[in-house]
Amino acid sequence: MTQQDPAVIKSEGDKALEKGDLPLALKFYEEALAINSQFSGAYYQKGTVLLRMGKAIQAAAMYWQAYLFSEFKTDIGLMTAKTLAHANYSFSACKLFESFKIEEMDGESLAYYL
């Protein structure tokens, strides 16, 4: 039995997400993560699906995983913080925002932080 490429499976999830089929997209991202549990892109996209489904806390957890496995890419960390703020976890969001320099923040992130 050959193992499938998680990037190909994630790509199928991206297509489903683009079409608005959130349950199918979620299924593909979970399949990709079952093969590669450190796949930052699949965690990020799973977070996007969960956020669109109204599950902000679960989305923030996925964005956090993406942030860790992306080796701390600023844009992913800021998305995590914005999602926490959106979910009314202000203290946690502020703590995460404070780990970035103001110059690193985009306008939307600054609006959430300030």
Query: Among candidates 11, 22, 13, 85, which has minimal Cα distance to 52?
Result: 22
Amino acid at 23: P
Q: Which segments of 53-106 does DSSP mark as H helices, in order?
A: 56-69, 74-86, 90-97
pLDDT at 2: 57
Query: Among candidates 62, 65, 41, which has minimal Cα distance to 51?
Result: 62
**Mean pLDDT of the 22-45 span:** 98
- Whole-number percent of the chain with pLDDT over 70: 98
pLDDT at 3: 73
Which CATH number does the domain 6-113 belong to among 3.40.50.80, 1.10.10.10, 1.25.40.10, 3.40.1280.10? 1.25.40.10
**Mean pLDDT of the 34-52 span:** 98
Of the candidate ranges 49-53, 62-66, 86-90, the one whose mean pLDDT is the lowest: 86-90
Stated pTM of the model: 0.90
In angstroms, the CA 108 to CA 52 distance is 18
**Mean pLDDT of the 16-36 span:** 98
pLDDT at 113: 86
Query: Among candidates 113, 63, 73, 71, which has minimal Cα distance to 93?
Result: 113
